Chain A
Amino acid sequence: MTLEIIKPGISTTIQDLGRPGYFHLGIPEGGAMDRLALRSANLLVGNPEDAACLEAVFMGPEIKFGADGVVAVTGAEMPMTLDGEPREAWTSFEVKAGQTLKFGFLTTGARLYIAISGGIDTPADLGSRSTYPIGALGGIEGRAVQEGDSLPVGSASGAAAGRSIPEELRRHPSDPEELRVLPGLYWDRLTDAAKASFFEDEWMVASEADRMGYRFKGGRALDFVEREAPFGAGADPSNIVDGCYSYGSIQVPGGTEPIVLHRDAVSGGGYFTLGAIISADMDLIGQLQPNTTVRFKRVDMDEALAARKEQSAVLEKIRSHLG
């Protein structure tokens, strides 16, 4: 079984749940930006949750199937047709050899996940098929898919078509959206006025929003507490002596435009990070379009852990519904 890429879209990459364990060496975990959507797509077609899927951002690819199989599409909302016939998202459907899947215009969300029974079976690098283009790892020779690529597909479990995830278990972004933040190590670099304005202001997703990071614009610039620059840190008040970055950490170079580091982020550098987006909201960022209005909401560790529990409960419900 193979999948043939007729049109690749803007950036369509092979992703699974990533390659944890190498971030200290500078290799990010990578994997699906919206992990719940990828898990959901895999569960719908009877794959292990960490099987490799296609992640397409803003534009759907055009795909021709080389053999019969079962397919499910989750994540962003984008109308789709199989040989011209409409198909439902978040619902598994049969495909026949020679049929073509096409997508219309994106309505809400940002990233589609396309799972096929058996999973995409390209070679794994460091335990994952996820594409990390900067490091040339995973995917097809380390890159996004291109027109004419033929992707190998593994053996299917024989799951039935027509399985669906109930509406209340599908996560859709809204506009405006809220992202929860846990203040972190360098929070005290900001003045009290900046600490307040960061949470008061409306921010907008900039067009520089990709798998490495999401940039936000439109809020007031942040002022820093005066200091004597430590040895090794740059003169800019947003500089620090190089430190580690975490997934979701928020750096604000020059105090002007916050950048949230995402799955393909760098692991360290010389910008202060005011805190981090909580893990429960990271999938949501992966579904934000440019120009979406966002407010950051301050939470404490207990609230962050409770939100993570809620997210895990949603996944459990999806598992038991499809079990």
Chain B
Amino acid sequence: MADIQAPAPGTFYHRPSPEEDPFKAKGDTVAEGDVIGLVEVMKTFVEVKAETAGTFGGYVADNESAVKAGAVLATVES
């Protein structure tokens, strides 16, 4: 199992916009480089990308929660 970590401190979002579904649901296939969430900081949205392929294990950090750089946001099972 691999952790996906926050690239920067800020607010973590599961969804591309409030009206849309989360980027991934538990059990979804994940390819390397897939976007699984966004971290907002300084009016900028930084894409959070999976660094390994596998199956999405779920979000660890809550939607709209404050996260520090390096915090575990989600997991990928290989």
Which A residues form the contact surface with B (CB < 8 A)?
10-11, 57-59, 104-107, 207-210, 289-291
**CB atoms of B66 and A59 under 8 A apart:** no
Q: Mark B9-43, 1 if CB is under 8 A from A, else 0.
A: 11100000000000000000000000000001111
A312 and B76 CA atoms in complex are apart in Å by 50
* Residues of chain B lying within 8 A (CB to CB) of residue A105: 5-7, 69-70
* Nearest chain B CB to A204 CB, angstrom units: 9
A210 and B70 CA atoms in complex are apart in Å by 20
**CB atoms of B5 and A10 under 8 A apart:** no
**CB atoms of A207 and B7 under 8 A apart:** no
Q: Which residue of A lies closest to B41 (CB)?
A: A207
* Residues of chain B lying within 8 A (CB to CB) of residue A209: 41-42
* Residues of chain A lying within 8 A (CB to CB) of residue B70: 104-107
* Nearest chain A CB to B70 CB, angstrom units: 3
* Residues of chain A lying within 8 A (CB to CB) of residue B40: 207
Count of chain B residues with a beta carbon within 8 Å of a chain A beta carbon: 17
**CB atoms of A210 and B9 under 8 A apart:** no
**CB atoms of B42 and A57 under 8 A apart:** yes
A209 and B69 CA atoms in complex are apart in Å by 16
**CB atoms of B8 and A59 under 8 A apart:** yes
Q: Which residue of B lies closest to A58 (CB)?
A: B8
**CB atoms of A207 and B69 under 8 A apart:** no
* Nearest chain B CB to A108 CB, angstrom units: 10
Of residues B8, B43, B68, B70, which shows the largest number of chain A Cβ atoms within 10 Å of its Cβ?
Answer: B8
Select A10's contact among B44, B66, B68, beta carbons within 8 Å: B44
* Residues of chain B lying within 8 A (CB to CB) of residue A289: 9, 68
Known: A207-B10, A290-B10, A291-B9. Is A58-B66 also a contact (CB below 8 A)?
no
A103 and B70 CA atoms in complex are apart in Å by 12
**CB atoms of A106 and B43 under 8 A apart:** no
**CB atoms of B5 and A207 under 8 A apart:** no
* Residues of chain A lying within 8 A (CB to CB) of residue B11: 207, 290
**CB atoms of A106 and B8 under 8 A apart:** yes
Q: Is there a chain A Cβ closer than 8 Å to B46's Cβ? A: yes
**CB atoms of A10 and B42 under 8 A apart:** yes
Select B43's contact among A104, A107, A208, beta carbons within 8 Å: A208
* Residues of chain A lying within 8 A (CB to CB) of residue B41: 10, 58, 207, 209, 290
A105 and B5 CA atoms in complex are apart in Å by 9
**CB atoms of A210 and B8 under 8 A apart:** no
**CB atoms of B69 and A106 under 8 A apart:** yes
List 27 interface pairs A-B (beta carbons < 8 Å), by A numbering. A10-B41, A10-B44, A10-B46, A57-B42, A58-B8, A58-B41, A58-B42, A58-B69, A59-B8, A59-B46, A59-B69, A104-B70, A105-B6, A105-B69, A105-B70, A106-B8, A106-B69, A106-B70, A107-B69, A207-B10, A207-B43, A208-B42, A209-B41, A289-B68, A290-B10, A291-B9, A291-B68
